[in-house]
Amino acid sequence: MPPRPPIVDALIIGGGPAGLAASLAFARTRTTAIVFDSQSYRNEGITHMHTVPSRDHVNPYEFRSIAREQITSRYRSVWFEQVTITQAMKKLLGKEKYDGFEVTDSEGRSYQGKKLILATGSRDVFPTIAGFKENWPQHIYQCLACDGFEQQGTPIGVLDCSPKTAHFVNMALNFDSRVTILTNGPVPGYPAIKQQLRICEAWGAKVDSRRIRRLINNGPTHEEGVTVEFEEGETLTLGFIAHKSATVNRSQDLIDQLGVECVDPGLGGHIKILNPMFNTTSVIGCFAGGDTMQAMKQATVSMADGLKAAAGAAMEIAAERESATWKMLEEQNINATKNASFPEGHGAAAMLSSGDSKAVN
Ligand SMILES: Cc1cc2nc3c(=O)[nH]c(=O)nc-3n(C[C@H](O)[C@H](O)[C@H](O)COP(=O)(O)OP(=O)(O)OC[C@H]3O[C@@H](n4cnc5c(N)ncnc54)[C@H](O)[C@@H]3O)c2cc1C
């Protein structure tokens, strides 16, 4: 690799699908970028990812490592750093005082770039049910398009009691007719929720409103599955449980330091995008891609959004160059006109050639 310039075109925080797609765009255009990867991925623990064309049923670890290998072996303008970024801020960079960014890792090393891409992902916030963590993600699935297909033919639990319960149950019924809705306590009296449960019952799903004491992981396969132990009565053994946890931005600290605006927590709390064509954020020069700016949190969507963020950063750099060059050409034009009316070596023209244009103006 050639030496890394002190100021790169883009600092990309995140080495998941979004950051990798963004970095590939920089590699392809021979523009410089550093990708920071703390190796904390949302899909940690899964062995196969799905809904990614040509990479269906591929281990996400393998997916990321192929992407990194392709970028570093074929191109020479993208560097990877396995570090955690703990600080990010706007900074005037270099002699030109470029309005860029500086980020600092947990070891105190700083990196400077013209643009910043936040591809920092999100993380799931688990409910406080004993044994939940021990079954995640082996027997608890947050998305039935991502997981479920391979486990079809086993009884399914839907741990949900909300206006989206019927959506989950509808999908679960594609995998097995034995679907139980686990409400984990009495059903709230809201008409919208009652309506959902009645629809699900009409489809043949059962509603179990007992409180869950704990979830027991019976072993790695779906034949072994997960057993639900309730506060009273018989246990229930299932192939898997569908549950959509709430998510939060993995690096909310960086988002806050930068002052990047997010949408209301009730709407997901992800980064607010001002121009969806280029994934611009509320901070000029800062772009975002992937789970951290999306309600639809999927690998393919994240890749597309990472690419848009890279395109946005590149467009902004190009626009800045264009306007700087135009300004210079205009100045040259003005000077050329002035030179024509003031013969060389005389008065103002002489002052102009000495660079003292202010004196002429
Ligand atoms: C259990 C589970 C299974 C899933 N299965 C599928 C599936 O089959 N198909 C599918 O399409 N989607 C699936 N998803 C969703 C998918 O994982 C995400 O949509 C996708 O990973 C988002 O990509 P991303 O690049 O935005 O974030 P991530 O993949 O989470 O990557 C975030 C990156 O940012 C880095 N990072 C964050 N903060 C910092 C920091 N401060 N410093 C340095 N680095 C930092 C992390 O280390 C990581 O490299 C699944 C999710 C879960 C939870």
Q: What is the pLDDT of residues 223-281, one digit of tens each?
A: 999 999 999 999 999 999 999 999 999 999 999 999 999 999 999 999 999 999 999 99
Percent pLDDT > 70 in the chain is: 94
Quick check: helix, strand or coil at residue 98? strand
Q: Are residues 181 and 209 in the same domain?
A: yes
Q: Is the pLDDT of residue 351 over 50?
A: no
pLDDT digits (tens, 9 = 90+) for 209-229: 999 999 999 999 989 999 999
**Ligand 1 contacts CB of residue 335 (under 6 A):** no
Å from CA of 328 to ligand 1 middle: 44
The pLDDT-based confidence of 335 (bands split at 50, 70, 90) is: confident
* 18, part of any domain: yes
* 181, part of any domain: yes
Last residue of a domain, one of 244, 260, 286: 244
Residue with the nearest Cα to atom 35 of ligand 1? 14
Q: Is the pLDDT of residue 360 over 90?
A: no
**Ligand 1 contacts CB of residue 298 (under 6 A):** yes
* 357, part of any domain: no
* 347, part of any domain: no
Closest ligand 1 atom to residue 290 Cα is: 26
* 205, part of any domain: yes
Q: Are residues 185 and 41 in the same domain?
A: no
**Ligand 1 contacts CB of residue 282 (under 6 A):** no
Which pLDDT does position 338 carry in this prediction?
73
Give the E-state strand segments of the chain in sequence order.
7-13, 33-36, 78-81, 85-93, 98-105, 110-118, 122-125, 140-141, 156-159, 179-182, 206-208, 212-217, 226-230, 236-238, 240-242, 246-249, 286-288
Residue with the nearest Cα to atom 31 of ligand 1? 16
**Ligand 1 contacts CB of residue 250 (under 6 A):** yes
The domain total for the chain is 2
219 — alpha (psi -120 to 50), left (phi > 0) or beta? Answer: left
- Between 75 and 349, the more confident residue is 75
Q: Are residues 118 and 135 in the same domain?
A: no
Q: Are residues 133 and 212 in the same domain?
A: yes
Residue closest to 271 by CA, chosen among 285, 300, 299, 250 = 250
Q: Are residues 105 and 153 in the same domain?
A: no
**Ligand 1 contacts CB of residue 84 (under 6 A):** yes
pLDDT digits (tens, 9 = 90+) for 137-189: 999 999 999 999 999 999 999 999 999 999 999 999 999 999 999 999 999 98
Q: Are residues 18 and 68 in the same domain?
A: yes
Which pLDDT does position 358 carry in this prediction?
39
CB atoms within 10 A of CB 331: 11
Q: Is the pLDDT of residue 73 over 50?
A: yes
Last residue of a domain, one of 244, 262, 294: 244
Residue with the nearest Cα to atom 26 of ligand 1? 290
**Ligand 1 contacts CB of residue 19 (under 6 A):** yes
| Pair 18, 291: CB distance under 8 Å | yes
Q: Are residues 157 and 53 in the same domain?
A: no
Q: Are residues 162 and 86 in the same domain?
A: no
- What is the domain extent for residue 313? 7-124+247-322
Q: Is the pLDDT of residue 347 over 60?
A: no
The pLDDT-based confidence of 341 (bands split at 50, 70, 90) is: low
Q: Are residues 298 and 216 in the same domain?
A: no
Closest ligand 1 atom to residue 289 Cα is: 26
The CATH code of the domain that includes 164 is: 3.50.50.60
pLDDT digits (tens, 9 = 90+) for 289-318: 999 999 999 999 999 999 999 999 999 999
* 350, part of any domain: no
Question: Taking residues 47-76, what's their average pLDDT?
Answer: 96
**Ligand 1 contacts CB of residue 148 (under 6 A):** no
Q: Report how far residue 280's alpha carbon sits from residue 309's, in angstroms, rounded to the nearest whole number.
A: 7
Å from CA of 42 to ligand 1 middle: 4
Last residue of a domain, one of 244, 276, 305: 244
Closest ligand 1 atom to residue 122 Cα is: 30
Q: Report how far residue 239's alpha carbon sits from residue 225's, in angstroms, rounded to the nearest whole number.
A: 4
* 297, part of any domain: yes
Q: Are residues 182 and 284 in the same domain?
A: no
* 337, part of any domain: no
Largest CA distance in the chain: 103
Lowest-confidence range among 76-85, 113-122, 192-201, 325-334? 325-334
pLDDT digits (tens, 9 = 90+) for 183-209: 999 999 899 999 999 999 999 999 999
Q: Is the pTM here over 0.85, yes or no?
A: yes
Q: Report how far residue 192's alpha carbon sits from residue 208's, in angstroms, rounded to the nearest whole number.
A: 18
**Ligand 1 contacts CB of residue 239 (under 6 A):** no
Q: Report how far residue 48's alpha carbon sits from residue 87's, in angstroms, rounded to the nearest whole number.
A: 33
Q: Are strands 179-182 and 206-208 parallel, antiparallel or unpaired?
A: parallel
Q: Are residues 254 and 148 in the same domain?
A: no
Q: Are residues 15 and 117 in the same domain?
A: yes
Closest ligand 1 atom to residue 298 Cα is: 19
Q: Find the distance separating the first CA and the last CA of the chain, reported in whole Å.
A: 48
Question: Taking residues 309-334, what's their average pLDDT?
Answer: 94
- The mean pLDDT of the chain is 93
